[in-house]
Amino acid sequence: KETNSPHLLLAGAGSGKTKIIVDKFLYLLNFFSADSILVLTFTNNAVDEIKRRIAKRMNIGRYSKFINDKILNISTYHSFFYSIIKEFYIELGYKSVPMVCDTKIYQCNINNECGDTIYIYYDDIILNVIKLFQKDNIANEISSRYKYILVDEYQDLDFLSDYLIKKIDAGRGKIMYAGDDDQSIYGYNGGDFFNILTFDLFFPFGKVFVFQNNYRSLPTVVEFCN
């Protein structure tokens, strides 16, 4: 029920992090419209799980159409940032919406143009949005759409992505981060749990909640891991 301050949920394995994100989303519907709540996570599987749990809690049987029509902003980080590029590609100087690829495209010119198709790499997604957010009108436009932000898997978020999320929050402090520094596995891809350790530097009046009980694993497993 905390809505008046930025806060960090430090949640160990099996401690109910996804449940809290779902419960938080449903609670926020008392104050904000569904499409003004932005939920960001790392994988498509996590997106589907959060949507499924929300639909189940709202007693929606066939939830696909409702999710697509009403809950528009539950997304992976890359998908969300790419949607911004698709909306403002002209401002970036592209002639058409660029396609995302994860391998080197051959037979393209220096601007990665292959005929009528333009390609960008995953790393370019973040850099393009940073370039867009240097224009105050675009940053303010995106920020105005979202009244609250829920950030999942914070330990795997890279610094620049976190910078963009803070730009969208625009100092309002209407944000909850959830993560576990012991589960950081995407360092090779820029993920940096240092974000967690510096939470209080960016949000000196923020709050930290710690979930330590593992409800998923047997006691013998928990004791061995400890």
Tell me the pLDDT of the chain averaged across its residues: 85
Its pTM stands at 0.85
DSSP-assigned states of every residue in 62-96? S-HHHHHHH---EEEHHHHHHHHHHHSTTTTT-SS
Assign 3-state DSSP to the chain and report helix, strand, coil percentages, each to 5.
45, 15, 40
Strands lying side by side in the sheet with 99-101: 99-101, 117-121, 113-114
Please write the tens of the pLDDT for every residue from 68-125: 555 568 999 999 999 999 999 999 999 899 998 876 555 566 566 666 788 888 889 9
User: What is the percentage of the chain residues whose pLDDT exceeds 90?
Assistant: 49
Please write the tens of the pLDDT for every residue from 2-17: 998 999 998 877 888 8
Is the separation of the CB atoms in 37 and 150 below 8 Å? Answer: yes
Q: How far is 161 from 125, CA to CA, in rounded Å?
A: 10
In this prediction, residue 56 has a pLDDT band, given cuts at 50, 70 and 90, of confident
The closest alpha carbon to 94, from 138, 134, 125, 140, belongs to 125
